Amino acid sequence: MRIRRMTAVAALAVVSVAACGGGETDSATEDMPAMTAAPVPAPDTTGAAIWAHLQGSDYQANWGLWPGKGQLYTGGEPHGMLLTTYMNDAAMEAFNSGATTMPEGAIVVKENYMPDSTLAAVTVMYKRSGYNADHNDWFFTKHLPDGSLDQMPNGMGMEGRLPGCQNCHQGVRANDYLFTSPLGGGGGN
Ligand code: HEC
């Protein structure tokens, strides 16, 4: 009995020494990520997280325009007269490689402008695997120019599985809910 207890104490001592050693190793490895560019984490499926991600990415400067579309191109109903549409890198790579669906993490941002070129709204489609299998896993948001969410008549912010957006966009389900131009063409080259 007594011997066993001694062994237990000794074992505890070993464990705590190992824990100290582990602690030192951890602090050494903590320095390493700073040396490599950390990948930008995928935003959460909230309007606030999406908006913060767009601003943090400086998407207007760093993302590409939808291939074949310039800035302030003429749009149709319901989004407005003048549109500018951006894709993040994941979406652009998929589009240019001729994919027929967008991958996890793809983000498409469409800015809606008034006829006098003032920004009226920013709409977003963000693909998250497993988010909404019935509608190709798209998360939708609609923001006012200051970044706040536009509101539905019941006062709810426009983010998420928005029936209005989904029901119209599913008309182009075969094109992964995207209207602007056909996927699968390798960038229209
Ligand atoms: C009545 C149909 C309709 C509704 C409702 C609608 N959209 Fe669209 N959406 C379109 C069309 C059509 C386009 C292509 C725009 C163009 O080129 O004129 C488009 C384009 C887009 C795009 C660019 C990607 C693409 O599909 O080509 C985004 C992003 C978008 N819509 C988001 C939204 C969001 C968010 C909502 C809901 C708040 C919404 N849409 C509601 C028809 C609709």
Specify the pLDDT at position 8. 44
Q: How many CB atoms are located within 10 Å of the residue 39 CB?
A: 6
Ligand 1 atom showing the smallest separation from residue 140 Cα: 35
d(CA 46, CA 161): 11
Specify the pLDDT at position 38. 63
Ligand 1 centre to CA of 31 (Å) is: 45
**Is the distance from CB of 125 to CB of 107 less than 8 angstroms?**
yes
Give me the phi and psi of 87, to 5 degrees please. Answer: -125, 140
Give the mutation target among 95, 169, 175, 181 for probing the ligand 1 site: most ligand atoms within 8 A of CB.
169
**Is the distance from CB of 45 to CB of 126 less than 8 angstroms?**
yes
Specify the pLDDT at position 35. 52
d(CA 58, CA 22): 39
pLDDT tens for the chain, residues 1 to 189: 444 544 444 444 444 444 444 444 444 444 554 555 666 789 999 999 999 999 999 999 999 999 999 999 999 888 878 999 999 999 999 999 999 999 999 999 999 999 999 999 999 999 999 999 999 999 999 999 999 999 999 999 999 999 999 999 999 999 999 999 999 986 444
Specify the pLDDT at position 82. 97
**Is the distance from CB of 55 to CB of 40 less than 8 angstroms?**
no
Give the dihedral of Cα atoms 159, 155, 168, 42; nearest 10 deg: 0
The tens digit of pLDDT for each residue in 101-148 reads 999 999 999 999 999 999 999 999 999 999 999 999 999 999 999 999
Specify the pLDDT at position 186. 65
d(CA 103, CA 18): 43
Greatest CA separation for the chain = 88
Specify the pLDDT at position 188. 47
d(CA 122, CA 79): 10
Which residue owns the Cα nearest ligand 1 atom 40? 165
Specify the pLDDT at position 16. 41
Ligand 1 centre to CA of 178 (Å) is: 8
Which residue owns the Cα nearest ligand 1 atom 12? 179
